[in-house]
Amino acid sequence: MSATDHSSATEQAIVDALESVEDPHVPVSLREMGMLGDVEFEDGLASVDIVFPCLGCPAYQMIIEDVENALETVDGVSDTDVGVTWAESWSKDRMTKNARERMQDIGIQL
C-alpha cells in the first residue's frame, strides 16, 4: 500500500499516526515531504518504508525512531518494521504544495 492508499481501518490509523512524524529540518510531516514509501499492515505487523532525500541524512536514526514510536500508538499494531528504500528516488516533486511553501517560509529555496 502506498502512503495514499488505505485499504483497512488499521492501515488508515497507521497513516494518520504517521502524520505526527515531522521532518526535523522542516515542520511538516514525512508524508508532506514525500518521504513515505510503502505502508503495509498484516497480522499485527506495521511495515513502513522511508524514502530519504540524501544518503547522509543527519536525522536518519531519529526519523526511524519517531516512525516506530508513532506506529506503536496504533491499536492492533503489535510489531513494527521500519525500513529505508533506495529503490525510489526522493525529489522535490514528491513534496506537497504545503511543504514547499513551508520551506520557503523558513528561508529554504527549492
41, 14 Cβ separation under 8 angstroms:
yes
pTM of the model: 0.86
The residue extents of the domains of the chain are 9-105
What torsion, rounded to 10 degrees, do the Cα atoms 5, 16, 72, 25 define?
A: 100
Question: What are the C-alpha distances in Å from 81 to residues 31, 40, 51, 85, 93?
Answer: 17, 10, 14, 12, 26
Tens of pLDDT, residues 92-104 = 999 999 999 999 9
Tens of pLDDT, residues 22-58 = 999 888 999 999 999 999 999 999 999 999 988 888 8
Fold of 9-105: GMP Synthetase; Chain A, domain 3 (3.30.300)
